[in-house]
Amino acid sequence: MTTRHAPVLLAEILALLAPTPGGHWLDGTLGGGGHAEALLMRTAPDGRLLGIDRDPSALARAAERLAAYGDRLVLAEGNIADLGAVADANAWPLCNGILFDLGISSDQLDDPARGLSFQTDGPLDMRIGPDADTTAADWVNDAAEADLADIIWRYGEERASRRIARAIVAARPLRTTRALADVVARVVRPERGRRPLHPATRTFQALRIAVNDELAAVERAVPQAFGRLVAGGRLAVISFHSLEDRIIKRAFKAASTGCTCPPELPLCVCGGRPTVRLVTRHPVTPTDDECRMNPRARSAKLRVAERLAEVAA
C-alpha cells in the first residue's frame, strides 16, 4: 500500500516541536505517516512514537511505510477524542511532543468509495473510521429539512443552507456524491474570484463534519493532550477551516491564562493559573512555494503551545 498524502507544514512542525533524540512522542492523526516519519528520524536512535488514527486503512499504510522503525513505533486505532484512553491502553508515558493534523488525507479524498469528494462519483458515505455511527446518506435522506439546513449552516457556514436543504429533500433519495453535488449546484450560484469554490464545497464539508463528529472530537482532544505532556513538552495542531481553528484558539487561550470565568465578566475571579504558554501568538501558514506544490495545504493553520512546569500551590 502506498500513500499520496504530502505532510503539510512539515518544516514548521519540526522547527516548533523541536524534536531531539529520545523521548516519547504522539501523532494523534497519523494519516499517511509523513509527520511521524520525520519525528522518528529526528528522535533517533531511541525516541519512540505512538501513532493513532481512526482509519484502519491509514494505519495499514503507515505500518508499511514506517516498518523500518521497528518497536520505536506503536500503532493504535482510535479517535483523538479518546486520546487519554488510547494512550493509557498502550501504557504510553507523558510526551515530549504531540501533533494533531486535522485535515483529511489525499488518500481518503481520492478514494471514490469514501464519498468525501464530488470530483469523482461514489457512495454518500463520508465516514473516516468505523467508529462513525451514521453516513452522509443517512443525513441527506433521513434528516428533517430544518435539521439538514441547520447542519449545513453551522458546519459549512453556507448562507444558502435553507435553499439547499429544501432542494435536497425535494430530490430524495440521493445515493451518490455526484447526485448531491448536482442538486446543490442547481440552487447555488458559483463563486467568483481567484479561487472560486464549487457550489457544493461547504455542503460536503458540513456533512463530513456531522458524520464524523469532528468538532466535538477536537474540543475533547486538546485538553487531554495538554495533560499528556511533560513540562516543556509541546502540542502542535494543524487545522484547515475556521470552525476548527476557533476551537483550538479558544482552548489554547484558556490554558494559557488559566481563566475559566464566563466571557461576559470584565475581570477574572476564578483564580485559575496558566498551564501552557503560547509558542505561536498567531497561526503559522504555508509558504507560497508549499501551496504551489500542494494546493490542498493552502488553508492550513498551525498553532503550538508548551506545557509549563507545575506551579507550587
| Tens digits of residue pLDDT in 148-174 | 999 999 999 999 999 999 999 999 999
More confident residue, 213 or 2: 213
Q: Which domain holds residue 235?
A: 10-107+216-307
**Is residue 2 included in any domain, yes or no?**
no
- Whether residue 159 sits in one domain with residue 95: no
Q: Is 287 helix (H, G, I), strand (E, B) or coil?
A: coil
* Domain shared by 206 and 229, yes or no: no
Q: How many whole angstroms separate alpha carbon 147 and alpha carbon 179?
A: 20
- Domain assignment present for residue 4? The answer is no
The maximal CA–CA distance of the chain, rounded, in angstroms, is 62
**What is the separation of C-alpha 72 from the centre of its chain, rounded to a whole number of angstroms?**
24
Based on the fold, state whether residues 184 and 239 are members of the same structural domain. Answer: no
Of 92-106, 154-168, 266-280, the poorest mean pLDDT is in 266-280
Regarding whether 37 and 20 lie in a shared domain, the answer is yes
Q: Based on the domain organization, do 103 and 249 belong to the same domain?
A: yes
C-alpha 205/C-alpha 117 separation (Å) is 9
| Domains held by the chain: number | 2
Q: Specify the pLDDT at position 269.
A: 75
312 pLDDT band, cuts 50/70/90, is very low
Strands of the 73-77 sheet, one edge to the other: 73-77, 48-53, 24-27, 95-101, 229-239, 301-307, 276-278
For residues 286 and 151, state if they share a domain: no
190 preceded by a cis bond (ω within 30 of 0): no
Average pLDDT over residues 244-264: 89
**Is 122 a member of any domain?**
no
- Give a yes or no: residue 125 inside a domain: no
- Residue 270: predicted pLDDT: 73
Mean pLDDT of 273-281: 96
What is the reported pLDDT for 191? 73
Over residues 172-188, the pLDDT tens digits come to: 999 999 999 999 999 99
- Compute the average pLDDT of residues 253-269: 81
Alpha helices in 188-233 (DSSP H): 201-212, 214-227
Q: What is the mean pLDDT of the chain?
A: 93
Note whether 243 and 182 are same-domain residues: no
Q: 17 and 153 share a domain?
A: no
State which of 161, 180, 212 marks the end of a domain: 212
In a domain, 121, yes or no: no
Alpha carbon of 65 to those of 3, 25, 36, 148, 300: distances in Å? 9, 18, 10, 40, 24
Looking at per-residue pLDDT, the higher value among 130 and 302 belongs to 302
The end-to-end CA distance of the chain, in Å, is 52
8-state DSSP, 70? G
Residue 130's region, left for phi above 0, alpha for psi from -120 to 50, else beta, is alpha
Question: What does residue 210 show for φ and ψ, rounded to 5 degrees?
Answer: -65, -45
Do residues 199 and 227 share a domain?
no
CA-CA distances (angstroms) from residue 221 to 19, 251, 287? 21, 10, 28
Same domain, 202 and 263: no
The confidence band for 313, taking pLDDT boundaries of 50, 70 and 90, is: very low
| 142 in the same domain as 59 | no
Among residues 174, 62, 191, which one has the least CA distance to residue 118? 174
In a domain, 64, yes or no: yes
Burial classification of residue 46, based on how many CB atoms lie within 10 Å of its CB (0-12 exposed, 13-18 middle, 19 or more buried):
exposed
pTM, entire model: 0.92
% of the chain residues with pLDDT over 90:
84
Residue 293 lies in a domain: yes
Higher-confidence residue: 262 or 306? Answer: 306
Do the beta carbons of residue 16 and residue 236 sit within 8 Å? yes
What is the CATH number for 197? 1.10.150.170
Please write the tens of the pLDDT for every residue from 13-37.
999 999 999 999 999 999 999 999 9
Say if residues 92 and 74 touch (Cβ distance below 8 Å).
yes
Same domain for 95 and 229, yes or no, is yes
Task: Evaluate whether residue 273 is within a structural domain.
Answer: yes
Domain CATH code at residue 100: 3.40.50.150
Confidence check: pLDDT of 114 > 50: yes
Cα separation values, 7 from 102, 141, 298, 303, Å: 12, 35, 12, 16
With cut-offs at 50, 70 and 90, classify the pLDDT of residue 1: low
What is the SS3 assignment for 96? strand
